[in-house]
Amino acid sequence: MHATGTVSGVNEQLDSQGHLRHLVTLDGLSGDVLTGLMDRAEAYLIAPGQPGPGDRSLEGLTVCQLFYEASTRTKISFELAARRLGADVVNLVIPSSSATKGETVLDTLLTIQSMAVDFFVIRHKEAGLMRNIATQVCDRTSLINAGEGQQSHPTQGLLDVLTIRQHKKDFENLSIAITGDIRHSRVARSTCHALLALGVHDLRLIAPENLLPESNELTHARRYTDFDAGITDCDVIMMLRLQKERMQSGDIPDLDSYRKHYCLTSPRLKLARGDAIVMHPGPINRGIDMDSEVVDGRQSVIHQQVGNGVAVRMAVFAAIADGKKS
Ligand code: ASP
């Protein structure tokens, strides 16, 4: 076992030649690194029924997925991304694994690492777990964070900024509103880190007071409790689900009042710019986060986000694979 050094700072996600080694967080990655990953992802976008890019960057490599929390989009898209690049993929089914006998995540991972696995894609509720594990794996092993508690979800942040870039020019001049349960959202944190690195100035966080982030977090963004004021003249509106699984009992809002003040309805959407796009990482609670008319309406880019997720995850795998070959 070779320790790889402390992954306490984001630059330690990069190897000595600047290649991505792990993807634990977007916090601290430069706009250039993010732009490089988006450019690479663009090349992997395929239309349904069209042949793939023919890139076999992951041929001979093995990916293991460890999802300790529920997932639909992220898990499937990581698997498709790995397979489209030629990898072998194995999935551990956590409820029937030795986790139920008390095996720790680290012990599970080190066990599977002994079977010559090159990538681990991990989702877990514990903050700090990914960084801790990244310090303890072999040199040839890479970790990709597929959702860490309420801390971070870096590939979601990447696919969000790619989707915005496909519709809007110049991040610097955009007004972007993120609304819903920001306090418990790993997506909000990762997407905000990416938006900041790409130069967004007008970033607005809209939520009831107890669902806004702590006052020492995401301090560059303006905070609103008034939904209508917050989305006025926005170019991008990103809605978030109420993360009931991460709330304390006092945090859970009265749903009727929440819906009344924070659900994105068609009349409310008119307050944003006429060409504003509407995003949501999914899963959507229709009628609470947003009305169906908006989810399925012409300004919604939600399905495009999902498609971009596969391409972004291919880009991350391929970028890490570059480092393994050099
Ligand atoms: N799918 C996203 C996540 O895993 C958003 C959500 O669950 O609301 O964080």
Q: Is 151 helix (H, G, I), strand (E, B) or coil?
A: coil
pLDDT in tens, 55-80: 999 999 999 999 999 999 999 999 99
Contact predicate 241/283, CB 8 Å: yes
Residues ≥6 apart with Cβ < 8 Å to 222: 202, 203, 204, 205
192 CA to centre of ligand 1 in angstroms: 15
DSSP class of residue 235 equals S
Compute the average pLDDT of residues 91-118: 97
pLDDT of residue 219: 92
Q: Is 143 helix (H, G, I), strand (E, B) or coil?
A: strand
pLDDT of residue 11: 62
Of residues 2 and 256, more confidence is placed in: 256
243 CA to centre of ligand 1 in angstroms: 8
Compute the average pLDDT of residues 80-84: 97
Name the average pLDDT for the chain.
93
- Domains, the chain, ranges and CATH? 3-153+307-325 (3.40.50.1370), 154-301 (3.40.50.1370)
* AA identity, residue 259: R
Please tell me the residue having the least CA distance from ligand 1 atom 1. Answer: 282
CA 210/CA 251 separation, integer angstroms? 6
pLDDT in tens, 187-221: 999 999 999 999 999 999 999 999 999 999 999 99
CA 179/CA 258 separation, integer angstroms? 12
Q: Is 20 helix (H, G, I), strand (E, B) or coil?
A: strand
* Closest to 212 in 3D by CA, of 221, 164, 250, 200: 221
pTM above 0.85, yes or no: yes
Lateral strand order in the sheet of 88-92: 88-92, 62-67, 119-124, 142-148
| Beta partners for residue 77, in sequence order | none
Residue 124 CB less than 6 A away from ligand 1: no
* AA identity, residue 202: D
Q: Indicate the top mutation candidate among 184, 240, 241 to test ligand 1's pocket, ranked by most ligand atoms within 8 A of CB.
A: 241
Residue 154 CB less than 6 A away from ligand 1: no
Contact predicate 63/121, CB 8 Å: yes
Compute the average pLDDT of residues 67-95: 97
pLDDT in tens, 151-167: 999 999 999 999 999 99
88-97, 142-151, 251-260, 293-302: segment of lowest average pLDDT: 251-260
Q: Tell me the C-alpha to C-alpha distance, in Å, between residue 172 and each of 27, 30, 163, 168.
A: 18, 15, 16, 11
- Does position 285 have pLDDT exceeding 60, yes or no? yes
pLDDT in tens, 2-52: 333 344 445 679 888 888 999 999 998 999 999 999 999 999 998 878 878
Residue 227: how many CA atoms within 13 Å on its side-chain side?
A: 24
180 CA to centre of ligand 1 in angstroms: 12
The Cβ of residue 76 has, within 10 Å, a number of other Cβ atoms equal to: 13
Give the ranges where the chain is alpha helix by DSSP (H): 31-44, 73-84, 105-113, 129-134, 154-167, 186-197, 227-231, 255-262, 266-269, 292-295, 302-325
36 CA to centre of ligand 1 in angstroms: 25
Interhelix angle 302-325/73-84, rounded to 10 degrees, is 50
Contact predicate 159/308, CB 8 Å: yes
Residue 157 CB less than 6 A away from ligand 1: no
306 CA to centre of ligand 1 in angstroms: 12
